Chain A
Amino acid sequence: MPTNFTRRQALAIPAGIALGSLAGRAAMAADPVKVGLVAALSGQSAKSGEGITRGLTIAIDEINARGGVLGGRMLELVRRDDESNPAKGQTAARELIDKEGAVILFGGIDSPVSQAIVPVVNGAHVPFMGVWAAATNITRNGANPNYVFRVSAVDVLVDRALIKHAMSTFSAKTPGLMLVNNGWGESNLAGLTAAAQAAGLKLAGAEKFDDKDVDMTPQLQRLRDAGADTVILVGNAAPGAQVVKSLQRSAWTVPVVSHWGISGGRFPELAGSWAGKVHFVQTYSFFGTQNDVGKRVLAALMAKYPDIKGPGDVTPPVGVANAYDAMQLTALALAKAGSTDGDKLREGFLGVENYQGLIKNYTKPFTDENHDALNENDYIMVRYNGDQIEPITG
């Protein structure tokens, strides 16, 4: 190694350092913007995580094809499996923020997981976007400033829609509730009780079940004996299927109106021949006349995923559609923010004006008072026909 530099070497070294530094900055400018997803990618709700992944992926492909965000930076999706476990979801959220440098986190189907992540993101000043979990207090969490946004249903509004559907379609007068025994069930117990009261209905009762319950006929029998004329179901696919199988076992042909958790797994397979009897809520259907965004997204899904051959194969549609619109709104928020800084990105969301999306034409989707982009006017009722989810007509 030479110990004395020539004049040429003395000039070349700082020049090299300067060039290296510039190259480094150029590389930084091209660094991808990481968006995190914490969702159930395995277990009974694995299909929900797959649907959300697909919706985000189609949107990210479109955004990157347009040149990315923030002057040419590509979006990159980083996924973590929460296994429907709040503790695992919380750990995954911290890891995505601290180690991966995710600028925003997207959530999955499980309200208890999202509820566990809310204090983490509010503490870290990193925006969180709910695209499925509907518990009211996920967005209405009391934090100020609040970094949690949602393009999904809200229990308190869904509950009104479920009661309304039970009344209009099945002439319900005394609905009975079958609720999963967790925070999501609690959220809906409050919402459904209030919705029934507002509609002038008296509830026959409210029963709870656990995810691993084998037989739910005792709970159903209590509702039956209390005079329930409709069952309102709140649960995910596997326990929801157990409720339906227990109804079938009891030969009780009562109408069932369900929240959308059942669409996050293999409900038609698990519930068997009675699966099609259940009416449930979604925010979007790929059936029927589609707007330009719908046509484009369906074509992209069919091109990218060989198992999608038509609208009925987009399952669960709610995960795909919510995630797609949420990702596009995030790109608009990043553009408004001009930065990946959490505080600026939060302001960016509040600054989004208009977006013609898949689910609807969004106008000022987020405000200081309202972090939920969808409302009861955006819900539709559907049912399973085989494996496919079809809107209820007539």
Chain B
Amino acid sequence: MLATALISGLGLGSIYGLIALGFTLTFAVSGTVNFAQGSSVMLGAVVCHALAIGVHWPMLLAVPAALLACAIWGLVVERIAVRPFVARGTNSWLMATVALGIVLDNVVMVLFGKEPRALPSPLADDPWVIGKIGIFPLQVLIPVVGLGLAALVHLGMRRTGLGLKLRAAVENRDAASLMSINVTLLIALTYAAAALLAGIGGILVAPLYNVAYDMGTLFGIKAFAVAILGGLTNPWGVVVAGLAYGLVEACATTWLGSSSTQIVTFTTVIAVLALAPSGLFGSRTKVRV
């Protein structure tokens, strides 16, 4: 049972971590987050399904096109639901991003339909079997992609010019602007990157689950919990928190039954935050109000 719980928990936990990375990126640079992140998960899966199954594009084209759609969606969220409110010094972007996500979910419901659809993958059809344990190749790929992207974000932030500018903007936004760094553009790009990461999560999980207009809601909520647990500003912390969350969820289901899953996981989240209010790997930050 332990092996099953580990496989199930690590697979799902990687997805949560991947989506939560998006929260980390935008929060680190702008102090704002995209609460429509769950909708980005859905958008990636739905566009990929529409192109690969609907119009029979090869997966190699459908996936980049779906991710491009997610990145554009991220830019739209930042431009419509974040920037105008931040400029006026209000926190209304909180509600605006939630609302925009609901709008997208409903537009997709009208265009894509209300019925869940399948996105078959050869990586989720023939499991590898060791004794009583089976695992789809996709379940191995998901943590690899999750950890790989976390490493990419980490290295990108530390070893590239763009990363340097981002870190400068994180440290002191006004000073970065004085150094001719286009902070507004940087923030927009982080929103695009955050939506793209969520889109990757959606495309990866779709063959294991299904594709539906409302599939992102639960992932978005859990990923936000993971982001808070991980410390919000720490990419590695968020990934580790994602894996931990997935494991707690799977272990709760395995040993206590599915009726206890949400009780155990969210009680754990509250307990951890009570002990470490800034998250497991977060640093205390001063917030100017």
Question: A-side interface residues toward B, CB under 8 Å?
Answer: 42-44, 46-47, 83, 181, 207-210, 212-215, 217-219, 221-222, 224-225, 238, 241-242, 245, 248-252, 265-266, 269-270, 272-273
Given the known interface contacts A222-B254, A249-B134, the answer about A181 and B259 at a Cβ–Cβ threshold of 8 Å is yes
User: Closest CB of chain B to A79's CB: distance in Å?
Assistant: 15
**Are B7 and A217 neighbours in the complex by a CB distance under 8 Å?**
yes
Q: A residues within 8 A CB of B218?
A: 212
Contact, CB under 8 Å: B115 / A266: yes
Decide yes or no whether B159 CB sits under 8 A from chain A. Answer: no
- CB–CB A249/B136 < 8 A: yes
Query: Given A207-B257, A272-B125, A218–B118 Cβ distance below 8 Å?
Result: no
Q: Which of B82-90, B184-192, B203-211, B263-271 makes up part of the contact surface?
A: B203-211
Contact flags B107-123 to A (C-beta < 8 A → 1, else 0):
00000011111101000
Ranked 10 nearest A-B pairs via Cβ: A251-B134, A42-B114, A218-B254, A218-B253, A221-B4, A251-B129, A250-B134, A269-B118, A43-B114, A215-B8
- Which secondary structure dominates chain B's binding surface? mixed
Q: Is the CB of A218 within 8 A of B115?
A: no
One of A46, A213, A251 near B127 (C-beta < 8 A):
A251
- Interface residue tally for chain B (C-beta within 8 Å): 36
Provide the bound-state CA to CA distance between A270 and B253, in Å: 23
Q: How far is the CA of A222 from the CA of B4 in the complex (A)?
A: 10
Q: For the complex, is B11 an interface residue (Cβ under 8 Å from A)?
A: yes
B239-274 Cβ-contact flags toward A at 8 Å (1 or 0): 000000000001001100111000000000000000
Check B259 against A225 for contact (C-beta < 8 Å): no
Supply 28 A–B pairs (Cβ within 8 Å), ascending by A.
Answer: A42-B114, A42-B115, A43-B114, A207-B258, A214-B12, A214-B209, A215-B12, A215-B208, A217-B4, A217-B8, A218-B1, A218-B250, A221-B254, A224-B132, A238-B116, A242-B210, A248-B127, A248-B134, A249-B127, A249-B135, A249-B136, A250-B133, A251-B134, A266-B118, A270-B116, A270-B210, A272-B118, A272-B125
Instruction: Identify the interface centre among A207, A218, A219, A250: most chain B CB within 10 Å of its CB.
Output: A218
The answer to whether B5 has its CB under 8 Å from any CB of chain A is yes
In angstroms, how far is the closest chain A Cβ from the Cβ of B18?
Answer: 14
Q: Does A270 lie within 8 Å of B5, measured CB to CB?
A: no
Q: Which of B7, B253, B259 has the most CB of A within 10 A?
A: B253
Cα(A44)–Cα(B257), bound, Å:
25
Q: How far is the CB of B134 from chain A (nearest CB, A)?
A: 3
A242 to B120, CA, bound (A): 13
Q: Does B139 contact A (CB under 8 A)?
A: yes
In the complex, what's the smallest C-beta–C-beta distance from B163 to chain A, in angstroms?
Answer: 33
Q: CB-CB < 8 A to A219: which residues of B?
A: 253, 257-258
Minimal Cβ-Cβ distance residue in A for B7: A217
How far does the alpha carbon of A217 sit from the alpha carbon of B124 in the complex, in Å?
Answer: 14
Contact A242 B258 (CB under 8 A): no
